[in-house]
Amino acid sequence: MKNILIIGAGIGGLTAGNLLAMKGHKVTIFETHSMPGGYTAGFYRKGYYFESGTLSFEASASIFKAMKDIGVFEQIDFVKHRMRFVSEYFDGTPENYSDYKKMIYTGFPSDKEKLDMFFSELDKMVYLMGEMDEPMPFLYSGLNMLKAMIPYILSAPKLMKLSKQYGNMTSSEFVARYFEKDSKLFKLFSRIGYPDMPAMILGSALMTMFTDLWTVKSGMQSWADILAENFRKLGGNLLLNFYVDKIITKNGAAVGVSYKNTVYNADYVISASDYKNTFLKLLDNKNLISQAAQNDIAKAVVSESFFTVYLGLNMTNEELGKYLKVPSVFAFNNQPGYDIYNAEDGEFFNKTSVSLWSLSMENPNHAPEGKSSLMLQTMVPYHWMNNWGGGNKEAYGQLKEKAMEALIDSAARLIPGLKEYIEYKDAATPLTYERFTHNTDGASSAWSWNPKKRFYKNAMSVNIETPVKNLYIGSCWAMQIGGVPGALAAAYQCTKKIK
pLDDT, position 299: 97
Closest CA to 45 of 374, 417, 272: 374
Of residues 471 and 154, more confidence is placed in 471
Residues of the chain with CATH 3.50.50.60: 3-41+219-301+450-497
Say which DSSP state 279 is in.
I
Going by pLDDT thresholds of 50, 70 and 90, the confidence category of residue 203 is confident
Residue type, 258: S
CATH superfamily, region 3-41+219-301+450-497: FAD/NAD(P)-binding domain (3.50.50.60)
Whether the Cβ atoms of residue 50 and residue 310 lie closer than 8 Å to each other: yes
Q: Phi and psi for 324 in degrees, rounded to 5?
A: -80, -35
Percentage of the chain modeled with pLDDT above 90: 84
pLDDT, position 25: 98
Whether the Cβ atoms of residue 114 and residue 185 lie closer than 8 Å to each other: yes
CA dihedral 69, 71, 75, 79 (to 10 degrees): 10
414, pLDDT greater than 90: yes
Give the number of other CB atoms < 10 A from CB of residue 335: 13
**Mean pLDDT for the stretch of residues 116-138:** 81
| CA-to-CA dists, residue 368 to 45, 221, 320, angstroms | 11, 18, 14
**Mean pLDDT for the stretch of residues 250-256:** 97
296, pLDDT greater than 80: yes
pLDDT, position 210: 87
- How far, in Å, CA of 177 to CA of 22, rounded? 51
Whether the Cβ atoms of residue 226 and residue 250 lie closer than 8 Å to each other: no
Q: Lowest-confidence range among 22-36, 69-83, 141-155?
A: 141-155
Q: Is 13 helix (H, G, I), strand (E, B) or coil?
A: helix
pLDDT, position 398: 98
Predicted structure pTM score: 0.95
Going by pLDDT thresholds of 50, 70 and 90, the confidence category of residue 129 is low
Percentage of the chain modeled with pLDDT above 70: 98
- Domain 304-437 matching CATH 3.30.519: the answer reads yes
Say which DSSP state 304 is in.
P
What H or E segment, with its residue span, contains residue 473? strand 471-473
131, pLDDT greater than 60: no
156, pLDDT greater than 80: no
Q: Lowest-confidence range among 115-129, 216-230, 377-391, 437-451?
A: 115-129
Mean of the per-residue pLDDT values of the chain: 94
**Mean pLDDT for the stretch of residues 399-411:** 98
Whether the Cβ atoms of residue 111 and residue 38 lie closer than 8 Å to each other: no
Q: Phi and psi for 309 in degrees, rounded to 5?
A: -105, 135
Give the number of other CB atoms < 10 A from CB of residue 499: 7
pLDDT, position 157: 72
pLDDT, position 324: 98
- How far, in Å, CA of 106 to CA of 437, rounded? 42
| CA-to-CA dists, residue 125 to 14, 83, 102, 155, 193, angstroms | 34, 22, 18, 12, 15
Going by pLDDT thresholds of 50, 70 and 90, the confidence category of residue 373 is very high
| CA-to-CA dists, residue 444 to 46, 96, 428, angstroms | 26, 26, 13
130, pLDDT greater than 70: no
CA dihedral 46, 52, 57, 60 (to 10 degrees): -70
pLDDT, position 471: 98
pLDDT, position 454: 94
117, pLDDT greater than 80: yes
- How far, in Å, CA of 67 to CA of 307, rounded? 30
pLDDT, position 205: 86
Whether the Cβ atoms of residue 180 and residue 48 lie closer than 8 Å to each other: no
**Mean pLDDT for the stretch of residues 235-254:** 97
pLDDT, position 251: 97
Going by pLDDT thresholds of 50, 70 and 90, the confidence category of residue 487 is very high
Cβ neighbours of residue 69 closer than 8 Å, sequence gap 6 or more = 19, 139
Residues of the chain with CATH 3.30.519: 304-437
pLDDT, position 300: 97
155, pLDDT greater than 80: no
Whether the Cβ atoms of residue 307 and residue 349 lie closer than 8 Å to each other: yes
